[in-house]
């Protein structure tokens, strides 16, 4: 490997890129530069001596990291390596453009097991469609409040809702925050910026497409629906559960002695177990559904099987809901309708929050766990009686 010793400047890197030089050593500092195969890029290394051995540590890539930035951070890097030669906290400025950083964040998200498949897809879609397309070519050192505002926020809020615009900004904010934590960027140009710095108008929650006044039409739609799709939708209407939790429901989550359904923490959005009291109405429906499954030869684990040993997927579940609603409403509208009906029936606000399995403060959680179990069951009994009185009685078992 051909190596030369000279001050490693950007000019020296460019000048020697046309030669057969593979490595440049700096006579003034313990740094070395190695060219990549394309000769237009390369890697920076810091070399220290430990117990008579040379230890090479990669600290960044050129051109994202230039000499000036490296020398500025060198004292900090050397101090860190003196304490721990294997430290991971020595990388400097790995990314040059917003596109570089966002691409890394998307790839990292795709392998994050703690994120749901739905969330991973949303991150990838939002990042590529909006963040990269509008800010991708900007160098990180040039990104500022004005560019985020004029090229992302203003453009987005003219075409999309404020709620969606905030989702897009959050992807940008989280990507930069993660890169800074891992020391993949020298500084975070949007650190401290909040969405309200750009948009001060309050974001109003999206109104549900279903109200108690729609109950007669809703009853008719359920009555005409295919049986399994009807049961899926009815479970969500009865308990206000999310579609992801509902489609994954297992029969062994049902406690027939306690008349309850326990969704484990790993299957909920909030990552906290969700215990749902089962009323006589719900028990009758579930027993009838189980008997019908068994009569057709299915005795498996899942309430909504996909035929391959697992539960139905997100697309299939959404198609079930569309088949019931004829596209008039979504699964989340059933959840909103349940919440609205609970309020109309004077079911305690905190009980409603718990039935929705919303994340609560420690104070609220203490109140709930101390007082809630009986109130939860009483509230659902009151609500399910209201549903029965409005026609949701015999149709489920046909």
In this prediction, residue 396 carries a pLDDT of 56
Tens of pLDDT along 69-95?
888 888 988 888 888 887 766 666 668
CATH class entry, domain 212-397: mainly alpha
Distance of CA 316 to the CA centre of its chain: 21
Return d(Cα 315, Cα 304) in angstroms, integer.
13
Q: Tell the CATH topology of 3-83.
A: Double Stranded RNA Binding Domain (3.30.160)
The DSSP annotation for 190-246 comes to TTT--GGGT--S--PPPPPS--GGGHHHHHHHHHHS-HHHHHHHHHHHHH---HHHH
Phi, psi of 311 (to 5 degrees): -85, 165
Task: Please check whether residue 341 is in contact with residue 383, taking contact to mean a CB–CB distance below 8 angstroms.
Answer: yes
59 three-class SS: strand
In this prediction, residue 204 carries a pLDDT of 64
In this prediction, residue 364 carries a pLDDT of 57
The pairing of beta strand 42-50 with beta strand 254-255: unpaired
| Same CATH fold assignment for domains 3-83 and 212-397 | no
Q: How do the domains of the chain map onto residue ranges? A: 3-83, 98-197, 212-397
Label residues 126-149 b or e (16+ Cβ within 10 Å = b).
Answer: bbeebbbebbbebebeebeeebbe
* Angle at CA of residue 340, ends 337 and 341, nearest 5°: 85
pTM higher than the cut 0.85: no
Low-confidence ranges of the chain (pLDDT < 70): 1, 88-94, 203-206, 360-371, 394-398
Q: Tell the CATH topology of 98-197.
A: DNA polymerase; domain 1 (1.10.150)
37 three-class SS: coil
Burial class (CB in 10 A: 0-12, 13-18, 19+), 350: middle
């Amino acid at each position: 490997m051909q190596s030369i010793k000279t001050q490693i400047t950007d000019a020296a890197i460019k000048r020697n890129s046309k030669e057969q030089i593979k490595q440049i050593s700096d006579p003034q500092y313990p740094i070395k530069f190695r060219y990549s195969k394309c000769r237009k890029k390369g890697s920076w290394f810091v070399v220290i001596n430990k117990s008579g051995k040379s230890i090479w540590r990669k600290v960044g890539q050129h051109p994202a990291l230039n000499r000036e930035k490296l020398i500025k951070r060198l004292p900090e890097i050397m101090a860190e390596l003196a304490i721990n030669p294997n430290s991971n906290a020595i990388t400097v400025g790995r990314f040059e453009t917003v596109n570089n950083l966002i691409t890394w964040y998307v790839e990292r998200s795709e392998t994050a097991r703690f994120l749901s498949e739905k969330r991973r897809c949303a991150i990838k879609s939002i990042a590529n469609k909006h963040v990269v397309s509008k800010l991708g070519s900007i160098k990180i050192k040039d990104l500022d409040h004005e560019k985020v505002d004029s090229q992302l926020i203003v453009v987005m809020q003219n075409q999309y809702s404020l709620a969606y615009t905030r989702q897009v900004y959050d992807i940008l904010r989280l990507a930069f925050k993660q890169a800074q934590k891992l020391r993949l960027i020298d500084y975070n140009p949007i650190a401290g910026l909040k969405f309200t710095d750009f948009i001060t108008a309050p974001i109003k929650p999206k109104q549900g497409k279903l109200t108690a006044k729609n109950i007669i039409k809703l009853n008719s739609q359920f009555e005409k629906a295919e049986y399994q799709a009807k049961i899926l939708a009815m479970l969500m209407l009865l308990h206000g559960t999310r579609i992801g939790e509902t489609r994954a429901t297992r029969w062994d989550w049902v406690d027939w002695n306690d008349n309850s359904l326990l969704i484990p923490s790993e299957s909920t959005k909030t990552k906290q177990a969700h215990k749902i009291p089962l009323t006589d109405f719900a028990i009758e429906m579930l027993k009838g559904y189980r008997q019908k499954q068994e009569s057709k030869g299915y005795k498996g684990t899942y309430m909504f099987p996909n035929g391959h040993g697992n539960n139905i997927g997100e697309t299939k579940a959404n198609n079930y809901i569309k088949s019931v609603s004829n596209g008039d409403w979504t699964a989340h509208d059933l959840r909103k309708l349940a919440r609205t009906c609970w309020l109309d029936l004077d079911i305690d606000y905190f009980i409603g929050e718990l039935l929705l399995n919303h994340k609560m403060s420690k104070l609220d959680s203490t109140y709930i766990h101390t007082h809630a179990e009986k109130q939860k069951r009483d509230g659902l009994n009151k609500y399910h009686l209201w549903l029965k009185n409005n026609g949701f009685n015999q149709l489920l078992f046909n």
